Amino acid sequence: MALDENSRLRYTMHMHKIHDTAVITSKETLQDHLVLTEEELAFDPSINSSLPLSIPSYFLNLIDPQNPDDPLRKQVVPSVNEQLPDLGAMKDPLAEVSHSVTERLIHRYPARVAFLTTDICPMYCRHCFRRRFTGTFQGPASEKQTEEAAQYVADHRQVTEILFTGGDVLTLSDSRLEQMIRAFRSKRPDLIIRICTRMPASYPMRITDGLITMLKQFDTAPFYLMTQFNHPKELTEQATGAVNRFVDAGIPAMNQTVLLSGVNDEVSVLEDLCNKLLFNRIKPYYLFQGDLVEGTAHFRVPLEKGLALEEELRKRLSGLAMPVYAIDLPNGGGKVPLSRAYLIGKNAENAWLFKTTEGEIRTYPDPLTQR
């Protein structure tokens, strides 16, 4: 969807409270802060399918302007790499469109659904896997779209959890979010709601006492906060403070990290990230292998390297600090865990053969009566 610069700005400014902070939305203003590299300069924002540029000044200030390879910069400053041909990549590799049961509701797994609350984000991550939808300026789900989705969930009792995703759900105002929660919980008081948001990383000031108070009135089922921190530098005092507000209110926090080349594909970085998350009461939940989404090839880490990182992390991290390394398989295959094989097979005596994390061999026989 083509939109002129004015409507883009209007949408960005529309966001709750963000009008009192600066948001960088053009290459020209970005150049006041950073000396752009050749690849960054070559990005052409007029190409229709491109993800918009938006960086809150809070996040921009975390970037080291002297370092063209800054891990935060890589995530938010557009580069021509997004616009190079990407063989084998797709617009919608997870087949979300064909799994949509209403305009904004995706039902791919039996017990959980994902609701696209809005396509708007305060900050557009260049690795975003939902680029077919994100930043297309369609705006928040309408009352009708919300009602349809709520009715679907009411009619499908096997659905126990809903993901409020997008886009970033916390770009909605508190009152709009309240209406949305009420639409679902009035029909399904038992529905677990996951608030999937990058706001604690991108614009932590959005998480106010007012938001938490609003959420607390819905006490018939739990909320879970699903964050996305990709690098330890994102865990500022403001960011962890924002998450603390949820956790203090009884809303557990889980983090989903995207494995990104040149950002966090180093064991020491991931180790530090996971330990800092855990220390701040955020459970490392998933570490995602990059999806085959057009325009993100330069971020994808070869699977062999990912497996080696997972193996080393498993040795270094506690069980609580260890995320599940997972891949969302193309053509809507769904998520599966990725790990080196520890279970090798069976030996001649029909006992299971295992490899330990140190590479030694152990056997484990089933009970004799049940072989």
Q: Which residues are catalytic?
A: 108-109, 112, 121, 125, 128, 130, 291, 328, 335
Q: Which position among 63, 120, 163, 327 is part of the footprint of ligand PLP (CB under 6 A)?
A: 163
In degrees rounded to 5, what are phi and psi of residue 24?
-80, 120
Query: Does 149 contact ligand PLP by CB under 6 A?
Result: no
Query: Does 134 contact ligand SF4 by CB under 6 A?
Result: yes
Can you list the alpha helix ranges (DSSP code H) found in the chain? Answer: 5-14, 27-30, 38-41, 57-60, 71-76, 143-155, 174-185, 199-202, 209-216, 237-248, 267-279, 303-316
Closest to ligand SF4 by CB, 25 or 134:
134
Query: Does 331 contact ligand PLP by CB under 6 A?
Result: no
Asked if 172 and 117 count as a contact pair (C-beta separation under 8 A), the reply is: yes
Residue 316 binds which one of ligand PLP, ligand SF4, none, with CB within 5 to 8 A depending on kind?
Answer: none
The residue type of 59 is: F
Query: Does 333 contact ligand PLP by CB under 6 A?
Result: no
Residue 166 binds which one of ligand SF4, ligand PLP, none, with CB within 5 to 8 A depending on kind?
Answer: ligand SF4
Q: Which of residues 60-99 bind ligand SF4 (CB under 6 A)?
A: none
**Counts of helices then strands in the chain (DSSP H, E):** 12, 15
Pairing between β-strand 192-196 and β-strand 223-227 as defined by DSSP bridges = parallel
Report the C-alpha gap between 138 and 1 in whole angstroms. 8
Report the C-alpha gap between 297 and 291 in whole angstroms. 9
Q: Which position among 109, 279, 342, 364 is part of the footprint of ligand PLP (CB under 6 A)?
A: 109
How many other CB atoms are found less than 10 A from the CB of residue 371?
Answer: 10
Residue 283 binds which one of ligand PLP, ligand SF4, none, with CB within 5 to 8 A depending on kind?
Answer: none
- Contact residues toward ligand SF4 (CB under 6 A) are 121, 124-125, 128, 130, 134, 166-168, 198
- Contact residues toward ligand PLP (CB under 6 A) are 106, 108-109, 112, 114, 163, 335
